[in-house]
């Protein structure tokens, strides 16, 4: 399996100075089948057969950029599975287990359907920048196409039925990955997290549930899925919550530039120097320093293309790096050396 390099994570979009990506995910289960926790391998394979038939209708599986390809995860090489997780197209747990499961993925890598994750289907659309309404429209369109040949479990009172009862109703997860170095510098991360919880939002790290935030990237998502329509949830999250978070971060950056410009410049240029000098580089250190360079770029301190930096953030992850430099697959110092060399070379090219 070859995966073309078109991940949403390496692009930029509206409000990319703060919002890295937007994602909409719909949880659906097929009626007549048990949920995944009670599904035998035979049932899982049958679910895959039903979804594959729905996915392979000509309007969905074609040669266009939006055309879906079917990837059977249990027979895919481990490195490819981790590549998908590093691109936020599948969860780490989904990438790493051995049960029958699949991913239908569009060529442009925006649209995808995880089959046999916690729910039978997780239909998602991921794109760069603040584009939740577009992602919502695309995810709903994909869901409607799949529903033409598949009956989803639906309850008159609870709406779409999900394996975890707290996701019922719309079964929708709206999320945005935010870069919040300004909030971090101001020491306000705890406050933002508390405010988010009061608004029934979940705040997670760079790699979703259970992961630590790394490089000041935070993923915000709704937890309420019942008692409000999809449009209302979208309106609240995209029209109210995200603008507030964005202005909070932008104000924090502006205040820091006005009052502590030296400190910001020190952070940014020291990060750049560290990355151009390092001979051994861990993924965590690369992410942290690239995050600081990202701040420098959006503040106009560093003359570098933001999309190029986004791509680099992805390329320093272990599986991506091992595609670029096979030495990285050995782990240990070989991996750290390969990463340092790749980052040095790339930064030298972009600054020349």
Interface with other proteins (CB under 8 A): 29, 31, 33-35, 37-38, 118, 140, 144, 147, 151-161, 163-166, 168-170, 172, 200, 202, 204, 209-210, 223-231, 233
Angle between helices 306-315 and 332-351 (to 10 degrees): 170
* Joined tokens for residue 103: 């991913």
Q: Among residues 189 and 323, whose Cβ is nearest to other proteins?
A: 189
| Cβ 155 to other proteins shortest distance, Å | 6
CA distance 97 to 78: 10
For residues 291 and 217, the answer to whether their CB atoms sit within 8 Å is: yes
Q: Among residues 99 and 163, whose Cβ is nearest to other proteins?
A: 163
| Cβ 140 to other proteins shortest distance, Å | 8
| Cβ 27 to other proteins shortest distance, Å | 13
Q: Among residues 228 and 329, whose Cβ is nearest to other proteins?
A: 228
Cβ neighbours of residue 58 closer than 8 Å, sequence gap 6 or more: none
CA distance 238 to 264: 29
| Cβ 50 to other proteins shortest distance, Å | 15
CA distance 219 to 127: 14
Q: Among residues 217 and 342, whose Cβ is nearest to other proteins?
A: 217
Q: Among residues 222 and 346, whose Cβ is nearest to other proteins?
A: 222
| Cβ 230 to other proteins shortest distance, Å | 5
Q: Among residues 156 and 300, whose Cβ is nearest to other proteins?
A: 156
Quickly list H helices, 170-281.
181-185, 189-198, 230-236, 242-259, 261-277
| Cβ 28 to other proteins shortest distance, Å | 10
- Output the DSSP codes for 56-106: TSTTTSSSSTT-EEEEEGGGS-HHHHHHHHHTTSS-HHHHH--SS-EEEEE
φ and ψ at 13, to 5 degrees?
-150, -165
Q: Among residues 118 and 337, whose Cβ is nearest to other proteins?
A: 118
| Cβ 245 to other proteins shortest distance, Å | 19
For residues 221 and 201, the answer to whether their CB atoms sit within 8 Å is: yes
φ and ψ at 228, to 5 degrees?
-140, 150
């Amino acid at each position: 399996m070859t995966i073309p390099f078109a991940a949403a994570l390496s692009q930029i979009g509206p409000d990319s100075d703060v919002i890295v990506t937007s994602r909409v995910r719909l949880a659906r289960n097929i009626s007549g089948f048990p949920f995944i926790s009670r599904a035998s391998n035979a049932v899982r394979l049958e679910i895959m057969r039903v979804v594959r038939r729905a996915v392979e209708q000509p309007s969905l599986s074609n040669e266009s950029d939006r055309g879906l390809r079917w990837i059977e995860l249990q027979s895919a090489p481990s490195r490819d599975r981790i590549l998908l997780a590093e691109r936020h197209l599948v969860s780490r747990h989904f990438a790493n287990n051995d049960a029958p499961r699949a991913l239908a993925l569009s060529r442009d890598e925006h649209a995808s359907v995880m089959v046999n994750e916690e729910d039978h289907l997780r239909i998602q659309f991921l794109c760069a920048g603040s584009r939740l309404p577009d992602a919502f429209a695309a995810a709903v369109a994909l869901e409607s196409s799949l529903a033409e040949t598949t009956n989803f479990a639906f309850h008159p009172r609870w709406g779409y039925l999900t394996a975890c009862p707290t996701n019922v109703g719309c079964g929708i997860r709206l999320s945005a990955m935010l870069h919040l170095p300004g909030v971090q510098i101001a020491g306000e991360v705890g406050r933002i997290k508390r405010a988010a919880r009061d608004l029934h939002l979940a705040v997670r790290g760079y790699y979703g549930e259970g992961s630590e935030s790394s490089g000041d990237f935070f993923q915000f998502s709704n937890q309420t899925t019942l008692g409000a329509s999809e449009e209302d949830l979208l309106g609240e999250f995209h029209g109210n919550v995200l603008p507030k978070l964005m202005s909070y971060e932008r104000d924090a950056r502006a205040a820091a530039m006005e009052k502590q410009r030296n400190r910001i410049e020190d952070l940014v240029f020291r990060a750049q120097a560290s990355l151009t000098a390092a001979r051994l580089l861990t993924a965590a250190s690369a992410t942290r320093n690239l995050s600081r360079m990202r701040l420098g770029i959006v503040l106009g301190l560093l003359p570098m293309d933001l999309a190029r930096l986004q791509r680099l953030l992805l390329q320093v992850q272990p599986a991506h790096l091992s595609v670029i430099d096979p030495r990285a697959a050995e782990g240990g110092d070989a991996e750290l050396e390969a990463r340092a060399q790749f980052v040095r070379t790339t930064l030298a090219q972009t600054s020349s």
